[in-house]
Each structure stands twice: as C-alpha cells, then as structure tokens.
Amino acid sequence: MSTIGEKITNGAIWMVLARLLHRSIGFISTLILARLLIPEDFGLVAMVMIIVAILDLLGAFGFDMALIQNQNATTDHYNTAWTFNVIYGVVSALLMVLLAQPTAEFYNEPRLENIMYALSFGVFIFGFTNIGIVDFRKKFFFQKEFKYLVGSKLFSFAVTIPLAFYLKNYWALVIGMVSGKLMSFTLSYIMHSYRPHLSLAKSAELFHYSKWLLLNNVFFFIKTRSIDLIIGKISGPHKLGIFSISYEISSLPSTEMVMPINRAIFPGFSKISTELENLRDNFMSVVSVVSIFSMPSAFGIAILSELVVGVILGSKWMDAIPVIEILAFFGAVVAMQSNNGMIYLAVGKPKILTLISGIYSLILIPTLIFAVTYYGIIGASWGLLAVALLFLFIDSFVVIRTIRVNVFSLLFIWLRPLVASIVMFLCLKFLLDNYVSMDDSINHLLSLMFLIVIGAVVYFSTLYAIWLVFGKPKYGEFHILGFVNKWISAKFSRPNT
C-alpha cells in the first residue's frame, strides 16, 4: 500500500481507538448524569438543540471540507472560511435570542427561553474558532486532532458533573455545553499558531465547492434532527429524553466511531482522488475497518441493553431498553454506508451525496410522522432502521458504480464481521439465559464487565479464525494487526547499546 494509503488506514484506526477513549468520558458522564437528573431534563435540552441544529444550517457550507479537498489552498482561502464562520456565529447567536420566546411558546415550555439565551453565547464564541486546526486533518496530525477534541470534552465533563451534583437540574447540562464550546475556542488558538483575519477574497471559489455541501447539510439535519422535533412535538419532553439517551448509548457504531474515521480518511481520499485503483483499495480497507468495529458494537449493545440500562441509567429509564435494542442496529447500518459520502466529496462530486440525502429525507419524514403518531418512540426506532436499510443498498450501489467496486468483494468484507458478531451474540445470549440473574442488582456491573470481555474475546477470536481460513486478505484485519504490531514495537522496543 502507498504511503498515503497507510496514513489513511492507520489514521482511521487511530481515530477509532482514540474516539473510544474519548467516548468513555461521555459514557461515564452519562452514567452519572442519568442518576442525578430525570428524562425531562435531557428532553428540554434536546428541544433547544433542535433549534441550534437548524441555525447550524446557516454556516453549513463545509468550508473545512473544501480546504482539505483543495490541495492548493492559500491563506486567503483560510481567512475567507474563518470570516464566514465568524459571521455565522454572530448571526446565529442573535437569532437564538430572537427565537427564544417563540420556541418556548411553540413547545408550550417556558423554561426553554432562558436555556436558549445561555446557549447563544456558546454559539457566538465558537464561531471565532481558529480555522488553522483544519490542518490537523489535512496534514494527518491525528494525535493533535484527538488532543483538541478530548481536551474540550474533559473540560466540559469537569464542569458538568460537579454542577449536576449541586444543581440537580438541566442547567448543569446547559452550562457544561457552553463551557465545552469555550474550551474548544481557547484550545484552537493554543494548539495552532495560525492567526486568521477578516477576508472575503476567496468567497466565490469556496462557495463553488460548498454550495452542494450546504444543501446536503440541510438534508443531514432532516435525517438526524427531524426525529427529535417530531417526538418533542407529538410526545413531549419525557419521551424525547428517553429517546435521546437511547440514541446516545446506541450510537457508538455510527456517530461516535465513524465520524472520527471520516475526519481521518477524507484528507487521504482527496490526495489520491485521481488514482482510481488506489482510491478503491483504500476505500475497501476503510469499509472493512468500520465493519469490524461497528457490527459487534451493534450486536453487543442490543443483547446487553437490559444490563446497560440497569447499570448506567437506573430503573427510571427502563423504557429505553427496546429503543436501544433497535437503534443499535440502526447505528451499525449507518456506519456501514457513512464512508461512501467521503468518496463523493473526494472525487469532487458532492452533488451525488446531496441527491442521495435528499431522497433519504423525502422518505424519512413521512415515515417518522406516521411511526411516532401511531407507535411512539418504538415505532420511530423501527422507522429509522427500515429507511437506513433501504438506503444501505441504494448508496452502496451508487458508490460501486462511482469507483467501480466489485460487489462480491464488498459483500465479503461485510460477511466476516457479520458472522463473527452473530457467534458473539449467540454466546452472550446463552450466558445471559443460563448464568446471569437480572434480579440481582448487586452483580449487574460485574456481570456487564464480564460479558463485555467475553464478547470481545469470542468476536475477535472468531473473526481471526475466519480471516485465516480465507487466506489473510489484506483488508481490515490485516491493517489492524499491522497497526497493533507497530504500536507494540514503538512502545516496547529498546535501542541497541
């Protein structure tokens, strides 16, 4: 594999492992907050975040993606992108202030007004974030990227948890979110020496690439946030709180794992976008890595959902169990197709991504309205999964045509982790049915930890055996083992004396 190819795959693996550590912070945070707060607190914040997400569309031009895709970007490009981000931050903050009262009236929830005032400050300050940190991805500085992400996360955690103990209400979540934005802004200037200034010199050039990304991000909002709006309006903050936390816990295979992979691979894909064979090989390797991590996560979360809820959330969240079981598989399906979008962007065809997202949104909205109206949050979960499965096949067909992927090779990449995940699932189900008592709350945590370890051992052992049987193909397993070997050698090798 080429040097760029190694950077792409190793960067993807590094970001997955790093994100797992980053996610553990959020996991601990959720565990503590769910015990201290009630579902309604999470629902209130989720209602406001819908408005924040809508306003995000004002700045959803994806200028960072344009800077990464353009290998000849100058300081004028960076300054222009930063200027638009500043404009977005100022305008969005003002709109949040103006929309605070109407939003509270729409939901018939007066507490939302002050929440929006507070969050508007975070939106304002985040708009001034240093654009130079785009280079962390563009130049493959993934360790710096991780330090930047985890630094703001740790600071937010350090603020939110003590406040939750003291306040015991939704304000702990709100202040924690604002503090995270403030730290992201601060770290961007500490960790990168670039100092942007106001300029619109390259606005026409940036908009030429980014116009499709703006429309795509509108559809992305519909895909990811419309469900919160629909549940919040039809079912209220309690049900929305249940769904939001269920989505967060079950989203490990998609949001928490694949998003950082995309941040790692897009710069590499852009560099080799004209080398079709090289691009195709690296795409297949990344799909393999994603499948290896996402599939067992989905099966594991689904089978262990009752223990997870009992240990992490407590008895007041038991309604989340069936939702988590369904959304876990939704997360895996989303993960398996999410890297396709990076291909369309890397080869300079954002229009394809936008069209697919548009059709997805047109099907999703009526499906969700019907499902939530008649079947509540359980129906919403099934609706999300059904539409995601449909578009897994549609999107895969398009990417196969775009870079001429062999369909049987793609199915073979999915088959190995799927079989290993099913074996793991059956093993865990046997242990749960015969050796774990759901009535013994004292041993729930120990049982959960034990089953996670057993599941990981069974899964990776089975996957390795299948990989050996099929002749050690040079896809995900090959690169993961190479990455681990290099890391061990770097950590434990001693220089010759």
* 209 has pLDDT over 90: no
pLDDT beyond 60 at 402: yes
Least confident among 28-32, 116-120, 339-343: 28-32
> Average pLDDT for residues 109-136, to the nearest whole number?
90
pLDDT of residue 450: 87
| Comparison of pLDDT for 257 and 90, the residue scoring more | 90
**Domain extent at residue 300:** 3-489
Classify residue 497: in a domain, yes or no.
Answer: no
State phi, psi for 61 to the nearest 5 degrees.
Answer: -85, -10
Burial (Cβ within 10 Å: 0-12, 13-18, ≥19) of residue 424: buried
Q: Which residues contact 351 (CB under 8 A, 6 or more apart)?
A: 212
pLDDT for the residue 437 = 66
Looking at residues 356-379, what average pLDDT do you find? 91
Q: Which residue has the higher pLDDT, 330 or 248?
A: 330
Tally the residues of the chain: 497
HEC secondary structure over the chain:
CCHHHHHHHHHHHHHHHHHHHHHHHHHHHHHHHHHHCCHHHHHHHHHHHHHHHHHHHHHCCCHHHHHHHCCCCCHHHHHHHHHHHHHHHHHHHHHHHHHHHHHHHHHCCCCHHHHHHHHHHHHHHHCCCCHHHHHHHHCCCHHHHHHHHHHHHHHHHHHHHHHHHHHCCCHHHHHHHHHHHHHHHHHHHHHCCCCCCCCCCCHHHHHHHHHHHHHHHHHHHHHHHHHHHHHHHHHHHHHHHHHHHHHHHHCCCCHHHHHHHHHHHHHHHHHCCCCHHHHHHHHHHHHHHHHHHHHHHHHHHHHCHHHHHHHHHCHHHCCHHHHHHHHHHHHHHHHHHHCHHHHHHHCCCHHHHHHHHHHHHHHHHHHHHHHHHHHHHHHHHHHHHHHHHHHHHHHHHHHHHHHCCCHHHHHHHHHHHHHHHHHHHHHHHHHHHHHCCCCCHHHHHHHHHHHHHHHHHHHHHHHHHHHHHCCCCCCHHHHHHHHHHHHHHHHHCCCCC
**Across residues 57-78, what is the average pLDDT?**
73
Which residues lie closer than 8 Å to 349 by C-beta, 6 or more apart? 402
∠ CA 460-461-463, rounded to 5°: 60
Is residue 403 a contact partner of residue 283, using CB atoms and an 8 Å limit?
Answer: yes
Cβ atoms of 422 and 301 closer than 8 Å: no
CB atoms within 10 A of CB 232: 24
pTM value is 0.66
| Across 53-75, average pLDDT | 71
Give the percent of the chain with pLDDT over 70: 82
Q: Is 21 within a domain?
A: yes
Of 180, 167, 63, 162, the C-alpha closest to 121 is 180
Which among 213, 192, 457 is positioned nearest to 346, based on CA atoms?
Answer: 213
> For residue 363, what pLDDT band results from cuts at 50, 70 and 90?
very high
Is 189 among the domain residues? yes
pLDDT of 28 strictly over 80: no
Integer-rounded Cα Rg, in Å, for the chain is: 23
Query: What whole-number distance in Å separates Cα of residue 474 and Cα of residue 338?
Result: 21
- The least confident of 9-23, 157-171, 254-268 is 9-23
- The answer to whether residue 187 sits within a structural domain is yes
Average pLDDT over residues 322-330: 92
Find the angle CA(310)-CA(315)-CA(319) to the nearest 5 degrees. 90
- In this structure, is residue 368 part of a structural domain? yes
Digit-coded pLDDT (tens) for 407-444? 888 888 899 999 999 999 999 999 988 877 655 555 67
Question: Other CB atoms closer than 10 Å to residue 110's CB: what's the count?
Answer: 10
Average pLDDT over residues 212-222: 70
Q: Where is pLDDT greater, at 263 or 370?
A: 370
Mean pLDDT (whole number) for 190-212: 80
Residue 216 has pLDDT above 90, yes or no: no
Task: Report which of residues 476 and 44 the model is more confident about.
Answer: 44
Q: Among 28-37, 355-364, 373-382, where is mean pLDDT lowest?
A: 28-37
**Per-residue pLDDT averaged across 376-381, rounded?**
93
Whole-number average pLDDT of the chain: 81
pLDDT value of position 12: 56
Split at pLDDT 50, 70, 90, the class of 492 is low
Across the range 214-220, mean pLDDT stands at 71
pLDDT of residue 46: 81
| Model pLDDT, residue 428 | 94
Q: pLDDT at position 497, please?
A: 42
Contact predicate 116/48, CB 8 Å: yes
Confidence band for 100, pLDDT divided at 50, 70 and 90: very high
Q: Which is more confident, 300 or 48?
A: 300
Tell me the C-alpha to C-alpha distance, in Å, between residue 391 and each of 280, 363, 380, 398, 413. Answer: 21, 10, 17, 10, 18
> In this structure, are residues 11 and 208 in contact, taking their beta carbons and an 8 Å threshold?
no
In a domain, 494, yes or no: no
Q: How far apart are CA 59 and CA 84, in angstroms?
A: 7
Residue 21 Ramachandran class (φ > 0 left, ψ -120 to 50 alpha, else beta): alpha
365 found inside a domain = yes
- With a CB cutoff of 8 Å and minimum separation 6, the contacts of 116 are 48, 51, 96, 97, 99, 100, 103, 104
- Categorize the per-residue pLDDT at 22 as very low, low, confident or very high, splitting at 50, 70 and 90: low
pLDDT band at 457 (very low <50, low <70, confident <90, very high): very high
Determine, yes or no, domain membership for 422.
yes
Q: How many domains does the chain have?
A: 1
Q: Are 245 and 313 in contact (CB under 8 A)?
A: yes
Determine the average pLDDT of the residues in 354-366. 88
130 vs 27, residue with greater confidence: 130
Placement of tokens 């202040």 in the chain? 175
More confident residue, 18 or 331: 331
Of the two residues 20 and 29, the one the predictor is more confident about is 29
Closest CA to 413 of 292, 288, 281: 288
pLDDT score of 384: 92
pLDDT class of 2 with cuts at 50, 70, 90: very low
